[in-house]
Chain A
Amino acid sequence: MPIDKIFKDDASEEKGERARMASFIGAMAVADLVKSTLGPKGMDKILQSTGRGHSVTVTNDGATILKSLHIDNPAAKVLVDISKVQDDEVGDGTTSVVVLAGELLREAEKLVTSKIHPMTIIAGYRMAAECAREALLKRVIDNKENAEKFRSDLMKIAMTTLCSKILSQDKEHFAEMAVDAVFRLKGSTNLEAIQIIKKPGGSLRDSFLDEGFILDKKIGIGQPKRIENAKILVANTAMDTDKVKIYGARVRVDSMTKVAEIEGAEKEKMKDKVKKILGHGINCFVNRQLIYNFPEELFADAGVLAIEHADFEGIERLGLVTGGEIASTFDNPESVKLGHCKLIEEIMIGEDKLIHFSGVAMGQACSIVLRGASHHVLDEAERSLHDALCVLSQTVNDSRVLLGGGWPEMVMAKEVDELARKTAGKKSHAIEAFSRALVAIPTTIADNAGLDSAELVAQLRAEHHNEGCNAGIDVISGAVGDMEERGIYEAFKVKQAVLLSATEAAEMILRVDEIITCAPRRREDRM
């Protein structure tokens, strides 16, 4: 007797072959979507928001594209997730990871149709991934000891990362900036200390790195515009009268004088607060909330520079870099940690005035001011620079580097191929498939550059037959070239993360044999 219904209305269930196909196709479609952004000649996408304002984003960053997609295929969501994780972990390779996972699934699909059990495929993939990782480890270059060489490695990595982005034309300029900024961090991966400020106008080349911290705010009226040896109190407090936060609290009086007295008392309280703040012996006061006219005047009288309405991120970072703590009560001056910096002054970038804190306590801190034609350019530049910074800061910790331009994939593919030959049983098909998937990455890079991918990849494979070959695809000249000479380097950590997470994601999707879509939650019709 058939079971009538296990699920609710509207819930659906797909089984076996159908379920697998659905997830394969979904994942591959997502991979194909971002495929064209891969490599130095990858294209950009416009992301057009359907929300209010129809805002437009132009980007080349895989993670950004995937993050903003509408997706209702569960397998596709897995790919979006791995790209997000890649972004958080290492910052770069967000497109590669999705493309590789997509290729692995495409190969798996073929194997499944030729009646190989998904579990066998998974086992083969696992062996292949392990072997590929070993192959990479054998070929890594580590220049940790040689500081000068290490720096040039970092420059090359930065340039490789940037060359696929909008900053490609000024990549030396930006690579220099990114490397300088990361070196200032002295090994910490805390990118918070690097502040990126975007100011429209000028061109990308006008962007610069500045030591210290820049706050996009104005100094209050009648206050000093330049302070040396500043002692900074960073606060988050309301600078209007303290109010009783009980609804309906009110005072009853019977004459005007008394109202005036209350008003006077309120003013007095404000004055007290300012006095307490001044009692910290400061000459700069930065508040997250508004400073009203009255306290502003008091600060001006005391010759203190007061900055109001600094955004939350701004003051947190200011507190971090100047070594101060964000205060909200001022009764115990001794327990509050003040921030210090050598010089505060007003600077002008483009049409806007900004406040510059130089010689801050936390030496690592620096600001990168980006200039560019429009907001689109600036946003994309920020994303690209952020990628470069992430990769660099990771590489500073793990100094192993690899060559780029499809070189690692070819090295891995060769090793994996050899493994396939040695392995007996059905697994060897899966291992072979894995190698084919790896080769798909250089193929895509060549395709995107409008080159003859079949020809180039065949050449590359032949070159790699020789031991210790450095050949990769040089997209600029459109031929196979020596990657070491061209200075195309990638971080080992990025490649490893790409390899492992793509394999894991493929494995996860392969294991699926049933998709259950739950009935959507009923909503009140709001239209």
Chain B
Amino acid sequence: MAAASTASRPRASKAESFVDNKRKEDIRSANINAGRAVADAVRTSLGPKGMDKMISTASGEVIITNDGATILNKMDVLQPAAKMMVELSKSQDSAAGDGTTTVVVLAGALLRVCQSLLASGIHPTVISDALHKSCAKSVDILTAMAVPVELTDRDSLVKSASTSLNSKVVSQYSTLLAPLAVDAVLSVIDPEKPEIVDLRDIKIVKKLGGTVDDTHTVNGLVFDKKVSHAAGGPTRMENAKIAVIQFQISPPKTDIEQSIVVSDYTQMDRILKEERNYILGMIKKIKATGCNVLLIQKSILRDAVTDLSLHYLAKAKIMVIKDVERDEIEFVTKTLNCLPIANIEHFRAEKLGHADLVEEASLGDGKILKITGIKDMGRTTSVLVRGSNQLVLDEAERSLHDALCVVRCLVSKRFLIAGGGAPEIELSRQLGAWAKVLHGMEGFCVKSFAEALEVIPYTLAENAGLNPIAIVTELRNKHAQGEINSGINVRKGQITNILEENVVQPLLVSTSAITLATECVRMILKIDDIVTVR
């Protein structure tokens, strides 16, 4: 049906040979409206007093979140321009990790001013160029405002992490989570490459039960897995020698199809006995190296372990953790400082990892496995996140991820900037002044851009239940007097020097929000037609 309707459309347009500019205007305003609608949807979740959204997905799952990227991701929009807004927030997520709501709100505000600029007859490309110029200028201004930070200055790092956490559900735990995030990131920095942090070196394990208060880093490794209890094997092991194996302790299976022909019962018995011997042989080899903890990779081809092998392993006092995912192997081996073993023949003592204690701990109704006191531990960290229900738990994980990203930003670009709307107001002021020295349409567009930036403090105040107009005008006034670090203190409901209040964020978050938002708006502006294609 869809194909039939689209096929008829180009044919209809062929009948008219004159250029219809009305349609182009319509498309553009439709795109802008769609983009703004998306921005409006997440606007209320901006800032420390921002509200959360409840999303019920098509599969019936319910998500409560304050994270812009997550909200947009689950919104499932269809309109192409709206889709671009979703992409925008995704790229902010990957570039900076935080500010995913800010970037969309900013883009929405820019679209709004573009709409009025277009209505006054300015050509879209002129607006687009002016946007680009203002954006480059903004980055300069922001960089000039920023305060350098050292990685040794743990307090500042914690402050910026807690600014990010303050807008989340878990804000009351920010005193716990912020230092945790900072320590986690600092611990995985490789001294050889101090600029780069790979967040994959930080493993976040979620476990239902307890409260967010119980979240802690584990100096070692945590698995959300049970130790195999099948045959009463050990669940606690001191002085553990750990092997990560990628083969299976089960009866042999060949790749080629095979069948064993049994003709009578004695043969059956013999086969069973051989199977036992085979497994026993493997376990003996394992035991011979002194290994007492086995981490077994999940296998899709056959059972990783059978009841029989578990039984023998238990007898040999070897602890078994099965179904470790293949993608986890790299992290595990890196942490344990051991090598994965893919064949029983290669099972040698030097490939094992050592740890003081491997134990199964029960948490709530579930159990987790902790490996602590690892010898020569790699540069990895595990964080165990707890929460009283699945929703809180998921949100806590997302918030923690944002906080980690914030710290990572600071590691790669070591500058801090004030939060609480201070940079946006300052930008708006300086750009406004700059606009006056520009000539022609450009100056006009830059002025509008400057005005659009005020949306951030405005929304912050609005979401906090303050009078946005009063607050923003006062803020402008303060900045005009040269107090460039004045911002909205949402907790006190007034304007204070925001740096003193310890509300700081990484420079990278602000600059990338502005550049990404302008890039996206410029793209939307330049579109004059939506063509349906195969």
Q: A residues within 8 Å of B by Cβ?
A: 25-26, 28-29, 32-33, 35-36, 40-41, 43-51, 54, 56, 58, 60, 65, 68-73, 76, 166, 169, 200-204, 221-222, 240-241, 243-244, 248-257, 259-260, 262-263, 266-267, 292-294, 296-298, 300-301, 348, 350-351, 353, 372-377, 449-450
Contact B523 A44 (CB under 8 A): yes
What B residues does A249 contact at CB under 8 A?
Answer: 256-257
Set A45, A201, A348, A376: member contacting B94, Cβ < 8 A? A201
Closest-by-CB residue of A relative to B20 is: A32
Within 8 A of A (CB), among B74-118: 78, 80-81, 83-84, 87-88, 90-91, 94-95
Number of A-B contacts (CB under 8 A): 236
B532 CB–A CB distance under 8 Å: yes
Closest-by-CB residue of B relative to A60 is: B526
Contact A259 B519 (CB under 8 A): no
Contact A43 B198 (CB under 8 A): no
CA distance A256 to B519 in the complex (A): 65
> What 6 A-B pairs are tightest by C-beta distance, nearest first?
A256-B274, A374-B87, A43-B528, A68-B533, A29-B14, A250-B257
What B residues does A48 contact at CB under 8 A?
Answer: 80, 530-533
CA distance A260 to B91 in the complex (A): 51
Contact A200 B94 (CB under 8 A): yes
Contact B528 A293 (CB under 8 A): no
* B interface bracket (residues with beta carbon within 8 Å of A): 35 or more
Closest-by-CB residue of A relative to B523 is: A58
Interface hub of B13, B80, B259, B326 (most chain A Cβ within 10 A): B80
Contact B123 A259 (CB under 8 A): no
CA distance A252 to B90 in the complex (A): 55
CA distance A33 to B263 in the complex (A): 78
B382 CB–A CB distance under 8 Å: no
CA distance A401 to B196 in the complex (A): 45
CA distance A376 to B252 in the complex (A): 50
Q: Is the interface of B mostly helix, strand, loop or mixed?
A: helix
Closest-by-CB residue of A relative to B28 is: A43
CA distance A222 to B196 in the complex (A): 21
Closest-by-CB residue of B relative to A447 is: B19
Set A200, A221, A374: member contacting B330, Cβ < 8 A? A221
Given that A350-B94, A373-B87, A373-B520 are known contacts, is A251 also in contact with B527, CB under 8 Å in the complex?
Answer: no
Given that A169-B132, A201-B94, A377-B523 are known contacts, is A221 also in contact with B340, CB under 8 Å in the complex?
Answer: yes
Least CB distance from B517 to A in Å reads 9
Q: 30 A-B pairs, CB-CB below 8 angstroms?
A: A33-B13, A43-B528, A45-B527, A46-B81, A50-B2, A50-B6, A56-B84, A72-B7, A73-B14, A201-B91, A202-B512, A203-B512, A241-B256, A248-B257, A250-B256, A254-B262, A255-B260, A256-B260, A257-B278, A259-B260, A266-B255, A292-B342, A293-B297, A293-B326, A294-B247, A301-B346, A348-B198, A351-B94, A373-B91, A374-B88
Q: B residues within 8 Å of A by Cβ?
A: 2-3, 6-7, 10-11, 13-15, 17, 19, 24, 31, 78, 80-81, 83-84, 87-88, 90-91, 94-95, 123-126, 129, 132, 196, 198-199, 246-247, 251-263, 267, 270-271, 274-275, 278, 297, 326, 329-330, 333, 339-343, 345-346, 512, 515-516, 519-520, 523, 526-534
What B residues does A26 contact at CB under 8 A?
Answer: 14
Contact A377 B519 (CB under 8 A): yes
CA distance A373 to B342 in the complex (A): 41
CA distance A348 to B196 in the complex (A): 8
CA distance A348 to B201 in the complex (A): 14
CA distance A260 to B250 in the complex (A): 11
CA distance A36 to B530 in the complex (A): 13
What A residues does B14 contact at CB under 8 A?
Answer: 25-26, 29, 73, 76
Contact A44 B246 (CB under 8 A): no
CA distance A72 to B199 in the complex (A): 51
Least CB distance from A141 to B in Å reads 29
What A residues does B78 contact at CB under 8 A?
Answer: 54
What A residues does B129 contact at CB under 8 A?
Answer: 169
What A residues does B247 contact at CB under 8 A?
Answer: 293-294
Contact A297 B342 (CB under 8 A): yes
CA distance A138 to B138 in the complex (A): 48
Set A46, A166, A253, A449: member contacting B123, Cβ < 8 A? A449
Contact B533 A29 (CB under 8 A): no
What B residues does A65 contact at CB under 8 A?
Answer: 531
Set B2, B90, B527: member contacting A46, Cβ < 8 A? B527
What B residues does A254 contact at CB under 8 A?
Answer: 260-263, 267
Least CB distance from A388 to B in Å reads 18
Set B13, B520, B531: member contacting A29, Cβ < 8 A? B13
Closest-by-CB residue of A relative to B275 is: A256
CA distance A294 to B342 in the complex (A): 5
What B residues does A68 contact at CB under 8 A?
Answer: 531, 533-534
